[in-house]
Amino acid sequence: MTKVKQAIKDYDMIVKGDRVAVGLSGGKDSAALLFVLNLLRKYSHLQFELLAVYVNPGWGDVDTTPLENICREYGIPFYHRSYPIARAVEQKARRGPCSLCSKLRSGILNTSARELGATKVALGHHLDDAVETFFLNMLYAGQLKTFMPRTYLDRAGLFLIRPLIYLPQKVVASITSHLQLPVIPNPCPYSGHTKRDEVRQVVRFLADRYPDFYRMFQASLENVRLENLWKQTSRKEGFSAPDCSDVP
């Protein structure tokens, strides 16, 4: 909890009066996020409301009963949004469906959050996700960047926050496992066969090889020396760099 509270403080993620919509995907990360934010809502000085939104992209039949039950136990409103994302993805992006699917799901989540009166959307991204996104952008887009802990969404008119950003994946997974939080199967047919899955293996190798990997990587993101980076040459050489921030 200490690192979560520190991240919230460092990036002004939650303030008094906020209405926070948790993107509840059914995975272990968002389950841990919901648990942690519920504790903060009940026992910290932060005074804010919580609600949960599940977006069903239409990859198959999904039983959300476990998610509904935990939200009921916490006293948190649960909203189920279903859209035929899968059909659109299969028709328009057969070679690279993951990025499009991610963007469509995010758009639906953000729109739903705004309609429900939320001021913030909280996602379960952790430190591993930030590291993986960094490597994805470097390897596939030729850019040194990752996502921010807090981002303002112009179109939606609200902030996107990532309270678990200081926690490694192992810590987040242990929270879900230890507390036996509800996790539902991921029906996506591309799960386990993405660019992010490949990069994840590289990150895990580095983390196993270097004990301080996560701490030093976070320190690097917070201490960027622009004067020691090369000049921008992509435009001169005609290099088109796609954004890999949404690549699963």
- Per-residue pLDDT at 176 exceeds 80: yes
Secondary structure (3-state) at 33: helix
- The tally of CA atoms less than 13 A away on the side-chain side of residue 62 is 23
Residue 150: left (phi > 0), alpha (psi -120 to 50), or beta? beta
Cα separation, 46 vs 15, in Å, equals: 7
> pLDDT tens digits for 83-92?
776 666 666 6
Instruction: Give me the sign of the Cα torsion angle 46, 30, 32, 150.
Output: negative
Mean pLDDT computed over 132-161: 91
* Per-residue pLDDT at 92: 64
Q: What is the pLDDT of residues 92-117, one digit of tens each?
A: 655 567 777 778 788 889 999 999 99
pLDDT of residue 193: 65
- The structure tokens listed for 136 are 């994805």
Tokens of 195: 């660019």
| Mean local confidence (pLDDT), 195-217 | 91
Q: According to the model, what pLDDT value does residue 196 have?
A: 86
CA atoms of 11 and 147, how far apart (whole Å): 13
Higher-confidence residue: 65 or 57? 65
pLDDT greater than 60 at residue 237: no
Is the model's pLDDT at 248 over the cut of 60? no
Mean pLDDT score of the chain:
86
Domains of the chain: residue spans and CATH: 2-223 (3.40.50.620)
Is the pLDDT assigned to residue 245 strictly greater than 80? no
Specify the 3-state DSSP secondary structure of 53.
strand
- For residue 52, pLDDT beyond 70: yes
